[in-house]
A and B are shown apart, each in its own frame.
Chain A
Amino acid sequence: MKNYDIERHVTGESQFVDDVITPEGMLHAYVFYSEKAHAEILNIDLSNAEKVKGVKAIFTSKDIPGENQIGGIIPDEVLLAESKVEYIGQPVAIVIAEDQLTAKEAASKIKVKYKKLPVITNPREAFKAGQMIAPQRTFNLGDPDNSWNSCKYIVEGTVESGGQEHLYLETQGAFAYPVEGGGIKIVSSTQSPTAVQRVTARILNLPMHKVEVDVLRLGGGFGGKEDQATPWAAMAGLASFKLNKPVKLILPRQEDMIMTGKRHPYSSDFKIGINKEGKIICYEVTFYQNAGAAADLSTAILERTLFHCTNSYYIPNVKATAVSCKTNLPPNTAFRGFGGPQGMFVIESAIFKAAEKMGLDPSEIQKKNLLNEDDQFPYGQKTENCHSGITWKNAEEKYSINTIRDEVKKFNAENNIFKKGVSFMPICFGISFTNTSMNQASALVHVYTDGSISVSTAAVEMGQGINEKIRQVVSKVFSVNIDRVKTETTNTTRIANTSPTAASTGADLNGKATERACQHILRQLKEIAAEILNASSITHVEVIDEVVHCDGNKSNLKWEELIKRAHLKRFNLSSHAFYATPGVYFDQEKEKGNPFAYHVYGTAIIEATVDCLRGTYKIDSVKAIHDFGKSFNPLIDKGQAEGAIVQGLGWMTIEEVIYDENGKLLTDALSTYKVPDIHFTPDIQVDFLKNSDNLKGIFKSKAIGEPPFMYGIGGYFAIMNALKAFRPDADLPISAPFTPEKVLMNLYSKVEEKQPA
């Protein structure tokens, strides 16, 4: 299958923000940021910086003509610091110069007088100090308090999961230029053009129609450019507006890593109760989310943690509490899975620890408790077309789990240094924005008089293949060659009030809107065709492979001629259509509802080998039966699954975000923050669950962006099982990422104590 975007990527022709030919006289920006994690600003001295040759202007919060406020859900975040700073990396001033190097040099000459305030980086400490982003929330199911009695095994514990740097290969960036009438045009690398438009308008005190935002494509987003692409675009907008000149702001990598938020670290407590048959009867969990210094999307992310706190298991009695804690770190933000992975990791850990106590392999408990049809989630929704059991069973059979287990056993018996471990990871992930109102999209389709077609939607291309999928939708509805279809940039003037491209919903929402727009046009075309071919009604005509058919017979009327005739007859060859997901709702008061259009299921088997001498490891393979629905682009969908799996493994293993106690990021470069490379990549086999379809997705497919990320969690437990093969009695703490350091310390730290000093 052809993918127009890839064809341009392999030749280097594809343009990203920093590649686009820009207006003449472009100036460049560098952001001066706070060096203190919590402090009052007593004074900002710009005098030396302003003297640097080539510097054009320096802007601080005082220069903002509108409201200095960028918070999306809760208005608690300024664009530029005013009287205090709350994290290292918080923007304080924007330096504009002829080139970025000059701007950076000038920034190094800005002197700020701070009065230091106490720094908190740990979410539990923040909670104790009463620093919360919003009131805590609790989901309840059954009667958790009175069901512990019927449990034979009760296990309690603590689970830590770390942050994760998005490391989109293209850093954050935007450029802006003034347009006639006091408006501004911004080209931005954002997943959320409307957020950029809304915030820039607020900052500049302009009506939204005076701010046009255009997005060509992103060099990766993964959630990191959902809310956090906005400040950089707004800053470029501000500078451009004030100076009446084009201004570009591209974050250098290190600044990007220091200034932007990451996946939320969580610290959680669990208590799980299991009866003698191995059924999970009761589960209680408390999540402390490390939100960083401002809300950003934290509350929505926290909500999804609650939604997915039981993963793909049916648990009759659940009490899940979650609280977003305010710390002095950069505001953490959306990242593939949006809090879901953090919730799932805890239930998987609870099962692992329970299995340890029961002397079982965790997979025995996992398998016994998988969701069945009509089972209820803690948020009230019931499973429909549940594929938990079938993907598990297919995985066991297709990948010959018994053979795998035998081989692992044999390997472990024969090897002293290397040990292998296997784990299962079932997933269940809900599709829709959990904020119901965001489940809307629109599309604008033009058919030109030569028969070529252009389509604009709210969707942003960032590697997920949305452009190709939208083209497929157009080509399929019209039954024309896909080469006729071009996807346009995502632009707020063409498509207004867009939801971000996020929550894996891009293809469903925008695909459906596109389908509708095409159908409007097609209906008109059929009327013309019926008239030309003397058919009694439009039900008799159909376009098949670019040719009009009448009652199933091929006519002489081809696509191009049809379009020409439609135009001459003054039919509308453009259509704008709207789509809103039906049937989704959620009542936050009761914490019950039907928040998801549908769920995505799957089961993976993960194998790992640990070098028990050196503490290093290799994830050998990930094999997954995944529920793609009826995929209409298997190449793209498989690629999404593979990429998500490796990213999930990275989060669980080698990707480690480290802040010191002063809130300073130690892993602020690619040399210290390691993501999976080509050697890391395990053998990945992703198979499509057969006979799955989904009436609620575009062309019966299922959303693919996020769900496979969570197979990565299995990597943690595969390593854990390998360690247990080496030290069967070890009671190992659960703390992700499972770095080589933690592996080695877990293997030997107790032994170490007995050694002579």
Chain B
Amino acid sequence: MKTKLNFICNNSQVEASVHPGLSLLDFLRKELRLTGTKEGCREGDCGACTVLIGVLNGTKVNYHSVNSCLFPVGEANGKHIVTIEGLNGTDFSVVQKSFIHEGASQCGFCTPGFVVSLTGYYLSNERFEINDAIESMDGNVCRCTGHQSIINAAKKSTQLLSTNISNHTDHINALIKSGLLPEYFSGIPGRLKSLGRKFPASEKILSPQYYIAGGTDLYVQKWEDMLKHNVKFLSSNVILKTIKEENGNCIIGATATVTDLIESKILSKYFPKLKEHLKLFGSLPIRNRATVGGNIVNASPIADITNILIALNATVHLTGSSGKRKLLLKDFFKGYKTLDLNKDELVDYVSFKLPAKNSYFNFEKVSQRTYLDIASVNSSIYLEVTDDKIITTHISAGGVAPIPLYLNKTSEFLKGKTINAEIVKEAAVISQTEISPITDARGSKEYKSLLLRQLIFAHFITLFPGKVKMKEIA
């Protein structure tokens, strides 16, 4: 299965006939011989392969970073792909200069990835904050420098750029003028537009073996298969991406990415801390790709979005050849990596009741490394409370059973109770009867049991600091 692809890579137009499931990393390194993009892990965990994807949006191009090892080349069609080579102008860019000045590179293997990520930050944000600039490199790992000099480089380039480009209308041109980007970037929107006219989206793929959403699970688990079989990209369906409010419900399309969740006005209105919680999900380039549908269907017991949605008592909406149906998300999981999903069904969207005024929500995740790591245990809680009494509660727990778990008994027990330390302790004891953790690389079963207890404590200490105190619990 080969498809014709047309896109712009750096300053060149690329026309190719390739298998769309080939990773962009391999295409760049082997076909285009752009070797500045490195392979460090092929599983989205090192960032050495980071590139930018530019998508035409009206007259502008929006850029975001991705891991090219998990990105199917088929998805590059009609877009602007920027590799490290595409950032090289006649002089070093501001970011490159800052790295040189701070000695923010040793062996150099990780360096192109870091430079691309940081440049991507300035491209996709109009106001620059030093901390955000640093965090834009949360998907890049450097084994040599210890990152201190890289942090210094990010500070330096942020300062340089902030003073240079306040008060501007055209972001890209301002960045070109201040030495972040080569000149050719200003012509990209026009070139993408004519590209689109010349080459319409490629033909419909029949009987796909794989539906790829963000690919962040599929490419980690079986990238070799993606090269051999018919694949179809779900991202081409834009409707699936929307997040909206409807009759007191929130509706999230299956291909909404974690970044979309973070940027959603509706969600941040109802869940002011969600942005903070979701920073614990993967890294920026992973969040830019990872979808809600993929998180659910991958059915990992520690899936974070699923964990949150279960506590919001969400419903999944499916479409298949025999029509549409819906069910509660917590009932969707049948056993380890098995779902109540027919072969021909896709997840359309999820919906949940928007939180009431008297409601509380919290998400807890503990992993070996705080960021860019899979949880040892995660847990979410949703509560409605009137006069100190719990009216409704839903608690989820991940990493303690073969499926993303809804803590049925624990939630049930808490209903009608007045919040205090004793009740919370009792709830934690009940939670232990609902779980069946196993020992693996993410911890022993004893640890996971203990951790869940602690996270239940943490929910209440965080949400009701006046009523449940650390001293009474530990």
- Are B147 and A676 in contact, with the CB atoms below 8 A? yes
Q: Say which residue of A8, A10, A19, A638 sits within 8 Å of B35 (CB atoms).
A: A19
What string of 1s and 0s marks CB contacts (under 8 Å) between B151-183 and chain A? 100000000000000000000000000000000
- Are B369 and A12 in contact, with the CB atoms below 8 A? no
What string of 1s and 0s marks CB contacts (under 8 Å) between A123-137 and chain B? 000000000000000
Neighbouring A residues of B347 by C-beta, 8 Å: none
Neighbouring B residues of A167 by C-beta, 8 Å: 143
What string of 1s and 0s marks CB contacts (under 8 Å) between B363-375 and chain A? 0101111111110
Q: Say which residue of B95, B143, B442, B446 sits within 8 Å of A647 (CB atoms).
A: B143
Contact A3 to B100, CB < 8 A, known contacts A643-B144, A756-B429 = yes
- Are B84 and A12 in contact, with the CB atoms below 8 A? yes
- Are A670 and B45 in contact, with the CB atoms below 8 A? yes
The reply to whether the CB of B27 lies closer than 8 angstroms to some CB of chain A is no
Contact A417 to B151, CB < 8 A, known contacts A14-B108, A678-B140, A679-B371 = no
Instruction: Give the CA-CA distance A6 to B45 in the complex, in Å.
Output: 23
Q: How far is the CB of B23 from chain A (nearest CB, A)?
A: 12
Q: How far is the CB of B366 from chain A (nearest CB, A)?
A: 5
- Are B141 and A745 in contact, with the CB atoms below 8 A? no
Instruction: Give the CA-CA distance A222 to B106 in the complex, in Å.
Output: 12
What string of 1s and 0s marks CB contacts (under 8 Å) between A460-503 and chain B? 00111100000000000000000000000000000000000000
Most central of A169, A219, A464, A667 by chain B CB within 10 Å? A169
- Are B369 and A674 in contact, with the CB atoms below 8 A? yes
The reply to whether the CB of A749 lies closer than 8 angstroms to some CB of chain B is yes
Neighbouring A residues of B20 by C-beta, 8 Å: none
- Are A463 and B134 in contact, with the CB atoms below 8 A? no
Contact A642 to B110, CB < 8 A, known contacts A12-B84, A741-B447 = no
What string of 1s and 0s marks CB contacts (under 8 Å) between A633-657 and chain B? 0011011101111110000001010
The reply to whether the CB of A218 lies closer than 8 angstroms to some CB of chain B is yes
- Residues of B within 8 Å of A, CB-based: how many? 83
Look across to chain B and name the residue whose beta carbon is closest to the beta carbon of A167. B143
Residues of A651-684 at the interface with B, using a CB-CB cut-off of 8 Å, are 654, 656, 658, 666-667, 669-672, 674-681, 684
Look across to chain B and name the residue whose beta carbon is closest to the beta carbon of A218. B107
Instruction: Give the CA-CA distance A684 to B102 in the complex, in Å.
Output: 14
- Are A680 and B369 in contact, with the CB atoms below 8 A? yes
Residues of A4-36 at the interface with B, using a CB-CB cut-off of 8 Å, are 5-16, 18-19
Q: How far is the CB of A519 from chain B (nearest CB, A)?
A: 29
- Are A12 and B37 in contact, with the CB atoms below 8 A? yes
Neighbouring A residues of B368 by C-beta, 8 Å: 654, 656, 674, 739-741
Q: How far is the CB of A151 from chain B (nearest CB, A)?
A: 37
Neighbouring A residues of B43 by C-beta, 8 Å: 253, 669-671
- Are A11 and B92 in contact, with the CB atoms below 8 A? yes
Instruction: Give the CA-CA distance A744 to B227 in the complex, in Å.
Output: 44
Q: Say which residue of B35, B100, B474 sits within 8 Å of A6 (CB atoms).
A: B100
Neighbouring A residues of B373 by C-beta, 8 Å: 671, 674
Residues of B8-29 at the interface with A, using a CB-CB cut-off of 8 Å, are none
- Are A678 and B137 in contact, with the CB atoms below 8 A? yes
The reply to whether the CB of B150 lies closer than 8 angstroms to some CB of chain A is yes
The reply to whether the CB of A732 lies closer than 8 angstroms to some CB of chain B is no
Most central of B220, B366, B446 by chain A CB within 10 Å? B366
The reply to whether the CB of B288 lies closer than 8 angstroms to some CB of chain A is no
What string of 1s and 0s marks CB contacts (under 8 Å) between B177-203 and chain A? 000000000000000000000000000
- Are A220 and B109 in contact, with the CB atoms below 8 A? yes
Contact A658 to B441, CB < 8 A, known contacts A11-B88, A645-B146, A677-B138 = yes
Look across to chain B and name the residue whose beta carbon is closest to the beta carbon of A666. B441
The reply to whether the CB of B458 lies closer than 8 angstroms to some CB of chain A is yes
The reply to whether the CB of A748 lies closer than 8 angstroms to some CB of chain B is yes
Neighbouring A residues of B149 by C-beta, 8 Å: 638-639, 642
- Are A10 and B83 in contact, with the CB atoms below 8 A? no
- Residues of A within 8 Å of B, CB-based: how many? 86
The reply to whether the CB of B259 lies closer than 8 angstroms to some CB of chain A is no
Instruction: Give the CA-CA distance A674 to B143 in the complex, in Å.
Output: 11
Contact A614 to B134, CB < 8 A, known contacts A16-B109, A670-B45 = no
The reply to whether the CB of B112 lies closer than 8 angstroms to some CB of chain A is yes
- Are B96 and A10 in contact, with the CB atoms below 8 A? yes
Contact A10 to B115, CB < 8 A, known contacts A169-B141, A170-B107, A671-B45 = yes
- Are B146 and A646 in contact, with the CB atoms below 8 A? yes
**Segment at the A interface, from B250-258, B319-327, B380-388, B449-457:** B449-457
- Are A613 and B429 in contact, with the CB atoms below 8 A? no
- Are B146 and A616 in contact, with the CB atoms below 8 A? no
- Are B38 and A170 in contact, with the CB atoms below 8 A? yes
- Are A616 and B366 in contact, with the CB atoms below 8 A? yes
Look across to chain B and name the residue whose beta carbon is closest to the beta carbon of A222. B143
- Are B106 and A464 in contact, with the CB atoms below 8 A? yes
Contact A684 to B146, CB < 8 A, known contacts A5-B108, A670-B46 = yes
Neighbouring A residues of B239 by C-beta, 8 Å: none
Instruction: Give the CA-CA distance A167 to B442 in the complex, in Å.
Output: 19
Residues of A726-757 at the interface with B, using a CB-CB cut-off of 8 Å, are 739-741, 744-745, 747-749, 751-752, 755-756
Q: Say which residue of A170, A465, A656 sits within 8 Å of B106 (CB atoms).
A: A465
Q: How far is the CB of A259 from chain B (nearest CB, A)?
A: 16
- Are A744 and B151 in contact, with the CB atoms below 8 A? no
Most central of A101, A221, A636, A671 by chain B CB within 10 Å? A671
- Are A7 and B138 in contact, with the CB atoms below 8 A? no
The reply to whether the CB of B306 lies closer than 8 angstroms to some CB of chain A is no
Residues of A594-632 at the interface with B, using a CB-CB cut-off of 8 Å, are 612-616, 618
Q: How far is the CB of A513 from chain B (nearest CB, A)?
A: 23
Residues of B244-301 at the interface with A, using a CB-CB cut-off of 8 Å, are none
Given A10-B115, A756-B429, 18 new contacts (CB under 8 A): A3-B100, A3-B103, A5-B108, A18-B39, A101-B224, A170-B109, A613-B474, A615-B451, A635-B103, A669-B41, A676-B369, A678-B134, A684-B148, A741-B443, A744-B447, A744-B450, A744-B451, A749-B450
20 CB-based A-B contacts, threshold 8 Å:
A3-B103, A6-B99, A7-B100, A10-B105, A15-B35, A222-B143, A253-B40, A253-B43, A615-B451, A638-B149, A646-B147, A670-B45, A671-B45, A675-B141, A678-B137, A678-B138, A680-B370, A744-B450, A745-B450, A749-B450
Interface residues of B, Cβ cutoff 8 Å to A: 34-43, 45-46, 48, 83-85, 87-88, 92, 95-96, 99-100, 103-112, 115, 134-135, 137-138, 140-151, 220, 224, 227, 364, 366-374, 376, 429, 440-444, 446-447, 450-451, 454-455, 457-458, 461, 469-471, 474
